[in-house]
Chain A
Amino acid sequence: MINGIMDFAARAILQGTPILFGATGEILTEKSGNLNLGIPGIMYVGMISSVIGGFAYQSGGNINPALAIIIPTLSCLLGSLIVSFIYAFLTITLRANQNVTGLAITTFGVGFGNFFGGSLIKITNSSAPYLSLTKLSRIFSGQKIVPDSAPWYQHLLLPLGFLVYVSVVIALVVGFVLKRTRVGLQLRAVGESPATADAAGINVTKYKYLSTCIGGMIAGLGGLFYIMDYSSGIWSNDAFGDRGWLAIALVIFAVWRPSIGIIGSYIFGGLYILYNYISVSMNMIPIMQMLPYIVTIVVLIITSLRKRRETQPPASLGLNYFREER
């Protein structure tokens, strides 16, 4: 019984980890006042970039465990950096509407991923349309199924690859930086009132660029985790589902606090697969998979009713800053 619960917990954590990466990145971005709805696209680009890097490396033949991790990771960071930079350039420098730009980036990212994914599949001339990086994936992922005889904690811990721990550490570090450091204080000032921050001598543009780009790179790691660990290195087009949107929903659920995001992502992940562990009919699956969104809406309603300052979004979220407008 306990083993079964631990198996479920491990699956929930694996489901939750891509969402956690995305949400942590988005929290960092939103704290600077930029509402980046391009996160689903950025995660998708992060995913395909790591696939391109990994594929190029794997085709070379010999596989060195260190390079097998470094090359896809760097490719992923580079890919998501470029896309978040495009978003930052459009919204911060050119002051384009953030919502429209973000949605465009998502559409672009998914199309970009499917185009290059589809092209790579054509190159391999495979009989079924998928791309396999299983050799690299084995280095990323944990041991997925644990024998019954193993003690309960192994059922929880063995399936988790190292990126799960990375996601928790990044979330804690981002939470710490935002709350306890001078940099974090200045970043929050930019997000709450860029004009005030500007008057205080804070470089608003620099903070916005950095938080958007770093946030995008963190979100991109969610794509890396999804492809290299969760999906066992198998790329097929449109496999990422709605995890990017779940990440944005999680930001609201976590009331802009990465530490709550950790718990929240595992709750989301657990709700997402709960139908397999309680007896429900297949018709209930879509309804069960709706639960994270319903929970988010409930949180939104509660926080808007209570109007506590700590649980509100950054005051200038979604607004572009233009110094001459004061």
Chain B
Amino acid sequence: MSKKIIAFLLVAMMLVSAALLASCGKGGNTNANETESLLPAPTLEKFTVKDDFKIGVICLHDENSTYDNNFIRAIRNVQKALGLSDEQVLVKTNIPESSACKDAAVEFAKGGCKIVFADSFGHEEHMIAAAKEYPDVQFCHATGTRAHTEGLSNYHNAFASIYEGRYLAGIAAGMKLNEMIEAKKITAEQAVMGYVGAFTYAEVISGLTSFYLGAKSVCPSVTMKVRYTGSWYDPATEKEAATALIQTDKCVLISQHADSLGAPTACEDAGVPNISYNGSTIEAGENTFIISSAINWEPYFHYIIKQVTEGKAIDTDWTGNIATGSIVLSGLNKKAAAEGTKEAIDKAIAEFKAGTLHVFNTANFTVGGSKLDSYMADVHYDTAFEKDTEAVKDGYFHESEYRSAPYFDVRIDGIEFINEKY
């Protein structure tokens, strides 16, 4: 009898705690020190979608991953803007990069989805397999590289020119360094930035190089040190890497390309300014967060739904940019950002829109001491990673033009890779 009572009590206790939690009030997430977004997401144009339209979205993790959260929020916002019902926008989370992805895609296609979307790099081959079986359904894949060589009319890749966003965030970093130099906190030579990167992929190198070039465009003496963690999400490893950059490598400003808050919290602990990624982290770094850049996937979802509704073809490779509204910046933290940062960023945004500013302008960096006149990039998919396309033309490296996913993997002067494999 007593055992039954205890068992009952345990169950009751769990229910009570769940109820308590559910009754918790809403906490706001606005911080008075954060300005209006410097590059906000655009409002989406409304058009009528047929009632039998359905889109299926496949995500690697769920909302609790920074990466997938970005996609889920985007499709939900588009759903709201177009007035679609929950039966028309189906999201499957925690789909691994295995045949489970194909199963999910096939299930969506059989269930009447006109578009199937997947968000993770490793989903690609399974999406291609499903695309071959269902030629009437459009398969769209973010971050993939194979659509332009695969020759399927219903399989598409997409990415965004996030290197432009990183460049803009880099300007905020450079302005901060200038402020520190002027205040005699550091000398011009001590303007060393640290960068915590996940892997040595082109996506990361393209991002960190553009961040560095953005900072260099306003602070010419800046250099940068990079530590890789070998993982997209590992809070402690990222935190330790950032701490080592601050303590051992004497970096005075940190940015990162990995998904946890390890680096931002290490910066807040140390009082070192931080440039964040994928959404504002001001709640974690109220004294040190400066600005954050992110890809906004709303325009892409909006675009593919519109094309299918109007019976038009979707681009094989779609690269969102500042003009499409695919690059967003958070607001500036008034406590940490330097004077004049907004003006400097606004100026660069205007130049991007006018097409006069190219991030990888070869006049602005050197490789091994000399100017980069020619670079063969690995653009076409093959298992040997053959360098197949000349990417330097008209005085700049043409990033994300020959396919949507980044392929800039040049190690330029001024950036030291501390623990990259040699």
Q: Which residues of A contact B (CB under 8 A)?
A: 4, 7, 11, 15, 52, 55-56, 59, 82, 85-86, 89, 93-94, 114, 116-130, 132, 134, 141, 144-145, 230-232, 234, 236-239, 241, 273, 275-277, 279-283, 285-286
Contacts and interface: CB of A to CB of B under 8 A. Distances in A.
Interface string B242-267: 01101110000000000011000110
Nearest to A59: B27
A285 B229 contact: yes
Contacts of A282: 200, 227-230, 419-421
Contact of A127 (B29, B243, B272): B29
Contacts of B21: 52, 116, 119-120
Nearest to A283: B421
Interface in B1-50: 3, 6-7, 10, 13, 21-22, 24-27, 29
Nearest to A289: B237
Interface residues of B, number: 58
A59 B28 CA distance: 9
B248 A126 contact: no
Contacts of A132: 283-284
B422 interface: yes
17 contacts: A15-B236, A93-B3, A114-B64, A118-B63, A121-B64, A127-B29, A129-B63, A134-B268, A134-B283, A134-B286, A145-B270, A231-B239, A239-B236, A241-B236, A281-B420, A282-B227, A282-B229
Interface stretch (B273-281, B307-315, B332-340): B273-281
Contacts of A234: 235, 261, 265, 284
B220 interface: no
A159 B227 CA distance: 23
Given A82-B13, A119-B21, A285 B230 contact: yes
Given A118-B64, A134-B286, A145-B269, A129 B248 contact: no
A34 to B, nearest CB: 18
Contacts of A237: 64
Given A59-B27, A283-B230, A128 B64 contact: no
A126 B420 contact: no
Identify which of A7, A85, A124, A276 gathers the most chain B CB atoms within 10 Å of its CB. A276
A123 B27 contact: yes
Identify which of B6, B21, B65, B266 gathers the most chain A CB atoms within 10 Å of its CB. B21
A287 B345 CA distance: 42
B97 interface: no
Contacts of B221: none
A9 to B, nearest CB: 12
B190 interface: no
B125 to A, nearest CB: 24
Nearest to B260: A236
Contact of A144 (B3, B269, B420): B269
A121 B63 CA distance: 10
Interface of B: 3, 6-7, 10, 13, 21-22, 24-27, 29, 62-66, 69, 73, 200, 227-230, 233-237, 239-241, 243-244, 246-248, 260-261, 265-266, 268-272, 278-281, 283-284, 286, 418-422
Contacts of A128: 66, 69, 261, 278-281
Contacts of B25: 59
Sort A-B residue pairs by CB-CB distance and give the 7 closest, nearest first: A144-B269, A145-B270, A128-B279, A132-B283, A282-B228, A276-B244, A232-B265
Contacts of A127: 29, 73, 279-280
Contact of A239 (B230, B235, B270, B281): B235
B421 A231 contact: no
Contact of A11 (B13, B233, B243, B422): B243
B168 to A, nearest CB: 18
Given A129-B64, A145-B269, 4 more contacts: A124-B26, A134-B283, A145-B246, A236-B261
B240 A122 contact: no
Contacts of B13: 82
Identify which of A11, A94, A124, A127 gathers the most chain B CB atoms within 10 Å of its CB. A127
B235 A231 contact: yes
A127 B248 CA distance: 32
A128 B271 CA distance: 22
Contacts of A7: 247-248
A129 B65 contact: yes
Contacts of A285: 229-230, 237, 419
A59 B20 CA distance: 14
B260 A239 contact: yes
Contacts of A231: 235, 239, 265
A94 B2 CA distance: 12
A281 B419 CA distance: 4
A44 B422 CA distance: 38
Nearest to A145: B270
Contacts of A241: 234-236
Contacts of B281: 128, 130
Contacts of B261: 128, 130, 234, 236
B419 A280 contact: yes
B131 to A, nearest CB: 30
